[in-house]
């Protein structure tokens, strides 16, 4: 059972991260509202240079369609570059290990995965990718996809804030993107990377070395630009590791301290985005509402996962201990990061179930930017359902929720079950599951169900790993990852575009800035999102638990 000490550790991590995120959100607001910040002397000329080289008109304000189109084209473009690099890495420089180019389906899977902020990996990073691929194809996408998530949220927040003056629209995608990179992701990654290097995570381009171990055998020591990748993978809620074993690999996560720092790293930005919502709206309590709802669900997730932590199963990370492993696993799914510090197959079925819940909800608090976006989707649906009971047309932030808003929110809500359940059934029907040696029992089903849930939620943690490197899984998860990424973004930007011009009334019947409303949102999410998947959880992890199967190993 959970000891008081563990609760204290969790509370401490939460307190530190929430305070840091609160402070950071102040800075973020200034960044996105073009106010003075302390880095201006250095970054203003740099950014102006970038705008001039790329021919960006920084004063151009975009509507939701243009914003989405810019984002989408940009992501196709970056994915295409990465696809070329991965496919031809054998002919490209910075490849001291002489790895050959990877095949098209794996390359497709990898670029869709990293560009959608999923980081599902059907390859073993340390034994497949060159330094160039790791740094340019992988890390580059980790930056752009994280920044994409952040700017989408910012554009949506601007829409929800309403048009403050005639000229204002959702903002300029390119300007938001550049500023996110230069003023948020790069500085924070730099700080975290240096910190991790100080704590023993390697950062090198010197190639792998072969050493003779104490027992007399030889071992390849795989080093590389690990610290920077680990930093952005956590900060950007990406999750794709340098190594297949991700943060379970000692070089990526050498000590309990780095473990907690990495844990905090992935919580930081999604939490800051929730505060940013309140700040950009000039209604801090509305940000608090999102925060309470998200963290409330996160706490429920943790409670489910921590109940069974009594003994360490086979394959569970022993270096870091059972508690921190479970905390990490739940957090990585709750924030849809997907980095792992253990072998999922070693986890107790209820931990898997908690992980699945986080990915089903996607807003606990979810990935950078998109977590807040999903929470807003749930808020709109909840406000509409219960708001009528206050005797007025439901309003959120003073704007009436009308038929078209409900239509859009419901479509966004429908995407998730479709892109998880359809390919899961298809994988069985086409024999793809049997082809990789998995059966029809609860263990096999859980792994396949988890694979698509993780892909759809843009999480990236998975059971399959390199066994998923088949054409069927590469292509199907690739499609699911992009559908799960861009369809909801498209819809939520459309809602933001509608919100922009809605009349706002100051006399609202159902207040959303109190402490009751987030509780209602939590219950509504549990009923609408989690219970929807209840039959599937029942034949997967719940059944494993009931049949006394300790883990998937």
| 99 touching other proteins, by CB under 8 A | no
Given candidates 407, 435, 466, 501, which one binds other proteins under the rule CB under 8 A?
Answer: 407
CA distances from 71 to 318, 456, 517 (A): 42, 19, 33
Task: Kindly tell me which of 220 and 430 has the beta carbon lying closer to other proteins.
Answer: 430
Q: How far is the CB of 299 from other proteins (least distance, A)?
A: 20
| 422 touching other proteins, by CB under 8 A | yes
Task: Kindly tell me which of 235 and 408 has the beta carbon lying closer to other proteins.
Answer: 408
Asked whether the beta carbons of 459 and 359 are under 8 A apart, the reply is: yes
Asked whether the beta carbons of 68 and 496 are under 8 A apart, the reply is: no
CA dihedral 377, 383, 384, 390 (to 10 degrees): 180
Task: Kindly tell me which of 190 and 538 has the beta carbon lying closer to other proteins.
Answer: 538
CA atoms within a 13 Å half-sphere pointing along the CA-CB vector of 272: 27
Q: How far is the CB of 464 from other proteins (least distance, A)?
A: 18
CA dihedral 374, 380, 385, 388 (to 10 degrees): 160
Task: Kindly tell me which of 445 and 482 has the beta carbon lying closer to other proteins.
Answer: 445
Given candidates 378, 445, 463, 473, which one binds other proteins under the rule CB under 8 A?
Answer: 445
| 377 touching other proteins, by CB under 8 A | no
| Geometric angle at alpha carbon 283, from 282 and 287, rounded to 5° | 115
* Neighbouring C-beta atoms of residue 15, cutoff 10 Å: 10
| 487 touching other proteins, by CB under 8 A | no
| 174 touching other proteins, by CB under 8 A | no
Task: Kindly tell me which of 440 and 466 has the beta carbon lying closer to other proteins.
Answer: 440
CA 489, CA 220: separation in Å to the nearest integer?
43
CA 489, CA 487: separation in Å to the nearest integer?
5
Residue positions counted in the chain: 553
Task: Kindly tell me which of 412 and 496 has the beta carbon lying closer to other proteins.
Answer: 412
3-state secondary structure of 255: coil
| 177 touching other proteins, by CB under 8 A | no
Residues that contact other proteins, how many (by CB under 8 A): 56
| 387 touching other proteins, by CB under 8 A | yes
Q: How far is the CB of 534 from other proteins (least distance, A)?
A: 5
CA 281, CA 372: separation in Å to the nearest integer?
14
Residue 378 zone, left/alpha/beta (φ > 0; ψ -120 to 50; rest): alpha
Q: Which of residues 520-549 bind other proteins (CB under 8 A)?
A: 520, 523, 527-528, 531-532, 534-536, 538-539, 542-543, 546-547
Q: Which residues pair with 221 in a beta bridge?
A: 209
Window contacting other proteins (CB under 8 A); options: 168-176, 196-204, 217-225, 421-429: 421-429
Q: Which residues pair with 395 in a beta bridge?
A: 400
Q: How far is the CB of 358 from other proteins (least distance, A)?
A: 20
| 425 touching other proteins, by CB under 8 A | yes
Q: Which of residues 260-279 bind other proteins (CB under 8 A)?
A: none
C-alpha 192: how far from its chain's center?
18
CA 546, CA 349: separation in Å to the nearest integer?
9
| 515 touching other proteins, by CB under 8 A | no
Binding site for other proteins (CB under 8 A): 381, 384-393, 398, 401-403, 405-407, 410-411, 413-414, 417-418, 421-422, 424-425, 428-429, 440, 445, 503-507, 509-511, 516, 520, 523, 527-528, 531-532, 534-536, 538-539, 542-543, 546-547
């Amino acid at each position: 059972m959970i000891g008081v000490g563990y609760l204290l550790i969790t509370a401490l991590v939460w307190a530190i991260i929430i305070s840091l995120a609160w402070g950071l959100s102040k800075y973020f607001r200034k960044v996105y509202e073009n106010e003075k910040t302390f880095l201006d002397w250095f970054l203003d000329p740099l950014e102006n240079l970038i705008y001039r080289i790329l021919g960006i008109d920084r004063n151009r304000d975009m509507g939701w369609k243009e914003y989405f189109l810019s984002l989408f084209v940009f992501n196709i473009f970056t994915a295409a570059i990465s696809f070329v690099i991965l496919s031809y890495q054998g002919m490209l420089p910075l490849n001291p290990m002489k790895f050959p180019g990877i095949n098209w389906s794996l390359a497709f899977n990898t670029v869709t995965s990293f560009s959608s902020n999923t980081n599902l990996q059907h390859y073993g990073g340390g034994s497949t990718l060159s330094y160039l691929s790791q740094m340019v194809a992988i890390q580059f996408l980790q930056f752009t996809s994280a920044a994409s998530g952040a700017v989408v949220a910012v554009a949506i927040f601007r829409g929800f804030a309403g048009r403050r003056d005639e000229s204002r629209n959702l903002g300029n995608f390119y300007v938001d993107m550049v500023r996110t990179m230069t003023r948020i992701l790069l500085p924070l990654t730099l700080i975290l990377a240096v910190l991790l290097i100080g704590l023993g995570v390697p950062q090198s381009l010197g190639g792998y070395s072969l050493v003779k171990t104490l027992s007399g055998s030889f071992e390849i020591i795989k080093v590389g630009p690990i610290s920077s990748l680990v930093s952005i993978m956590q900060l950007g809620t990406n999750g794709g590791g340098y190594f297949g074993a991700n943060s379970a690999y000692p070089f990526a996560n050498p000590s309990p301290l780095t473990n907690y720092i990495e844990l905090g790293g992935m919580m930081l930005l999604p939490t800051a985005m929730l505060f940013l919502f309140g700040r950009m709206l000039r209604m801090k309590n509305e940000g608090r509402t999102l925060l309470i709802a998200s963290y409330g669900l996160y706490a429920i997730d943790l409670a489910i996962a921590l109940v069974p932590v009594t003994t360490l199963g086979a394959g569970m990370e022993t270096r870091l201990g059972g508690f921190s492993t479970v905390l990490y696993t739940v957090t990585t799914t709750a924030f849809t990061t997907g980095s792992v510090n253990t072998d999922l197959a070693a986890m107790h079925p209820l931990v898997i179930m908690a992980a699945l819940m986080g990915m089903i909800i996607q807003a606990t608090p979810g990935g950078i930017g998109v977590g807040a976006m999903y929470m807003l989707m749930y808020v709109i649906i909840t406000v509409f359902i219960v708001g009528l009971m206050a005797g007025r047309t439901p309003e959120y932030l003073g704007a009436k929720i009308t038929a078209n808003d409900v239509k859009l929110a419901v479509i966004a809500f429908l995407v998730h079950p479709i892109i998880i359940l359809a390919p899961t059934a298809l994988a069985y029907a086409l024999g793809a599951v049997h082809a990789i040696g998995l059966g029809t029992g609860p263990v096999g089903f859980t792994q396949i169900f988890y694979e698509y849930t993780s892909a759809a939620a843009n999480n990236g943690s998975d059971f399959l790993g390199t066994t998923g490197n088949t054409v069927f899984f590469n292509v199907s998860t690739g499609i699911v990852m992009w559908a799960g990424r861009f369809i909801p973004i498209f819809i939520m930007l459309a809602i933001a575009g509608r919100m922009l011009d809605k009349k706002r009334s100051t006399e609202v019947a159902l207040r959303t800035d109190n402490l009751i409303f987030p509780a209602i949102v939590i219950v509504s999410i549990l009923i609408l999102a989690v219970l929807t998947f209840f039959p599937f959880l029942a034949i997967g992890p719940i059944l494993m638990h009931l049949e006394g199967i300790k883990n998937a190993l």
